[in-house]
Amino acid sequence: MPGRPTVEKDRGEAQINPTKRTVLEVQNLSINYISEGKPPARAVENVSFTLKEGELIGLVGESGCGKTTLMLSLLRLLPSAGQIVDGKVFFNGKDLTTISEKELNKIRWKEISIVFQGAMNALNPVRTVGDQIAEAITKHMPDFPKDKIQGRVIELLDLVGIAADHKEHYPHQYSGGMRQRAMIAMALACNPQVIIADEPTTALDVMIQAQILELLDNLRKKLGLAIVFVTHDLGVVAEICDKVLVMYGGVTAEYADVDTIYNSARHPYTQELLKAFPDLTKPKKKLSSIPGYPPRLDALPDGCRFAPRCPVAIARCHTEQPMLHKLGDMHIASCHLVEASK
């Protein structure tokens, strides 16, 4: 049956290779949004993950759960209200939360670059795409030889699968998928080691989404890039990720390699998310949804942030915040029930 997914020789097995070098390590990062006259909004709390060379990590969570906040904080790009209150971000052994702004500027974009959420809609409409990529190159690498810039632009466009003759076109002549590719090309301008892609496929149709996923997958194979892929769609990351970090309301719900997340998830939120996903291998099954809404940061519940929506919550969940429980080498979940069953 061509349409149905078929089990395939261990393509899905986690490709986590212990010998690979760790590029980015985030330890217990917490971020608050401070506004006058209000208690600080705890947008991100105690999140940790590691990213190795050539690895692709999926950061999954509902809208407003702090994904963008977390990503911006890695490069200290948060708006002034957002402050890192705790934790460390190591990039090749350097702590990005403490180094000087000048040193950080050497890392921003050149070592770690971001494809911002919604950036593809923010291309300057009156300048050609090639021009804008060239600008990104000169802005971040002022010493780049002027005569080689056009060649580099073509090279970058080629890398993301856009024909060179589209260089002179304006953003409105690009489709959504092409604009997203152009944004990725810009992020690649300085040969970074890490790319953070913030919801690059949201609002694109499934075929374009598959194209972008394939592109990212190829890029990391070809260039050895480490990629953080932010999405709200658990199904998307299953296709290409090595590890998945599921966030709920600013905290880590579960963090594990991709196989564990999809086949033996322990956190009820992950389990519910998976159930909400339409599965073509089991058509005619009624979808289940998670009733309720994510917590508001200004009115966080006392206990577990997921407790009000959790189908299996016990009394303790409503009063006490769960700790991060280590369930295996590479598996962390924050749930009281996990602890109880241990």
Ligand X SMILES: Nc1ncnc2c1ncn2[C@@H]1O[C@H](COP(=O)(O)OP(=O)(O)OP(=O)(O)O)[C@@H](O)[C@H]1O
Q: Which residues bind ligand X (CB under 6 A)?
A: 33, 41, 43, 61, 63-69, 79, 81-82, 117, 232, 297
Q: How far is CA 317 from CA 47, 207, 307, 312, in A?
A: 20, 41, 6, 9
Residue facing Mg ion at closest CB distance: 68
Query: Which one, of 197, 173, 172, 166, lies nearest residue 184 by Cα?
Result: 197
- Window 64-103: residues binding Mg ion (CB under 5 A): 68
Q: Which does 97 bind (CB under 5 to 8 A by kind): another protein, Mg ion, ligand X, none?
A: none
SS3 112: strand
- Window 244-263: residues binding another protein (CB under 8 A): 258-259, 262-263
* Chain position carrying tokens 């970074």: 192
Residue 159 Cβ vs ligand X, minimum distance, rounded to whole Å: 27
Residues 284, 4: Cα–Cα separation, whole Å: 14
Query: Which one, of 96, 18, 87, lies nearest residue 52 by Cα?
Result: 18
Q: Which does 69 bind (CB under 5 to 8 A by kind): ligand X, another protein, Mg ion, none?
A: ligand X
**Does 4 interact with another protein (rule: CB under 8 A)?**
yes
**Does 2 interact with another protein (rule: CB under 8 A)?**
yes
- Window 109-168: residues binding another protein (CB under 8 A): 117-118, 121, 125, 161
- Window 31-70: residues binding Mg ion (CB under 5 A): 68
Nearer to Mg ion, 71 or 137 (CB): 71
Residues 102, 277: Cα–Cα separation, whole Å: 45
Choose the binding region for another protein from 58-66, 79-87, 106-114, 328-336 (rule: CB under 8 A).
58-66
Q: Which does 41 bind (CB under 5 to 8 A by kind): another protein, ligand X, Mg ion, none?
A: ligand X
Q: Which does 290 bind (CB under 5 to 8 A by kind): ligand X, Mg ion, another protein, none?
A: another protein
Q: Which does 204 bind (CB under 5 to 8 A by kind): Mg ion, another protein, ligand X, none?
A: another protein
8 A C-beta contact, residue 194 and residue 227: yes
42 phi and psi angles, rounded to 5 deg: -85, 85
Residues 35, 19: Cα–Cα separation, whole Å: 44
8 A C-beta contact, residue 153 and residue 133: yes
**Does 201 interact with Mg ion (rule: CB under 5 A)?**
no
- Window 116-145: residues binding Mg ion (CB under 5 A): 117
- Window 300-339: residues binding another protein (CB under 8 A): none
Q: How far is CA 145 from CA 129, 132, 138, 148, in A?
A: 20, 17, 9, 6
HEC readout, 260-282: HHHHCCCCHHHHHHHHCCCCCCC
Give the footprint of another protein on this chain (CB under 8 A): 1-8, 11-12, 62-64, 117-118, 121, 125, 161, 175-178, 199, 202-211, 214, 232-236, 238-239, 241, 258-259, 262-263, 272-274, 276-281, 283-291, 293
